[in-house]
Amino acid sequence: MNNTKHDLLSQVAGYYSEKLAEHGETPRGVDWNGEEGQLLRFKQLCKVVQGAEATFSINDLGCGYGALLDYLTPIYSISSYLGIDISEHMVLAAEARHKKNANARFITAIQPDKPADYGVASGIFNVRLERSDAEWLDYLQATLDLLNQTSLHGFSFNCLTSYSDENKKRDYLYYANPCQIFDLCKRRYSRHVALLHDYGLYEFTILVRKP
């Protein structure tokens, strides 16, 4: 990893570690407003696994304290779950929270250590801090390449939308152009891409399927 990317991820890891320390294992601890929005967000992301085999494996990039696993467990049959986060504090919290789940594993890293049937990334493209739009877009594209490489049947992710109300935007957050990101995914990863931008949050979700 080059020094620029290392510095970028170290800053972001510090940001989220502070949020966890302040708010604990709650949606606000991973910088979301509340549980209702978090669950709605998970519902959109998990549409990528609709029609999947009876059991499947999944990589959760930017897993936080493992809230997505809480959502998945009563609904789906997961053969293995890998949570990846750049914040060691998040990973320690996730391990403690899910220590009784034999199918779950968590690592402090920037990428999965093995591929899975599906990959999910929730919220990891939002907090850019002092980085420029161009620099953050490069990071976003590199991370999508990584998701593509480590997801056998498809992946999903979300971004804050550039269609957000101007008076509600924050200069330390990144608001992506959904049309630009959709086009990138269609051209680069699969012909089967869905853009979800109709669920009431100031964000969008993209599903990339590999039939």
Give residue-wise pLDDT tens across range 103-140. Answer: 999 999 999 999 999 999 999 999 888 889 999 999 99
CATH number of the structural domain spanning residue 121: 3.40.50.150
Half-sphere exposure of 89 (CA within 13 A, CB side): 17
Q: Which of 107, 106, 109, 94 is nearest to 30 (CA)?
A: 94
- 2-60 confidence digits (pLDDT tens): 555 556 666 666 666 676 666 566 555 555 555 788 899 999 999 999 877 679 999 99
- 52-65 confidence digits (pLDDT tens): 767 999 999 999 98
Q: Model pTM greater than 0.75?
A: yes
Total domains in the fold of the chain: 1
Using CB atoms within 10 A of its CB, is residue 86 exposed (0-12), middle (13-18) or buried (19+)?
A: buried
Alpha carbons 23 and 154: distance in angstroms, whole number: 32
- 154-171 confidence digits (pLDDT tens): 999 999 999 999 998 988
Q: How confident is the model over 192-207, as a mean pLDDT?
A: 96
pLDDT at 192 over 90: yes
Q: What is the pLDDT of residue 21?
A: 66
**168: containing domain:** 3-209
- What the block records as the tokens of 164 is 């957000």
pLDDT at 145 over 90: yes
**What's the Cα-to-Cα distance from 22 to each of 6, 15, 70, 149, rounded to whole Å?**
24, 11, 21, 35
Q: What percent of the chain has pLDDT over 90?
A: 71
Non-local CB neighbours of 122 within 8 Å, separated by 6+ positions: 41, 42, 45, 60, 62, 68, 157, 158
Q: How confident is the model over 195-201, as a mean pLDDT?
A: 95
Q: What is the pLDDT of residue 2?
A: 53
pLDDT at 174 over 80: yes
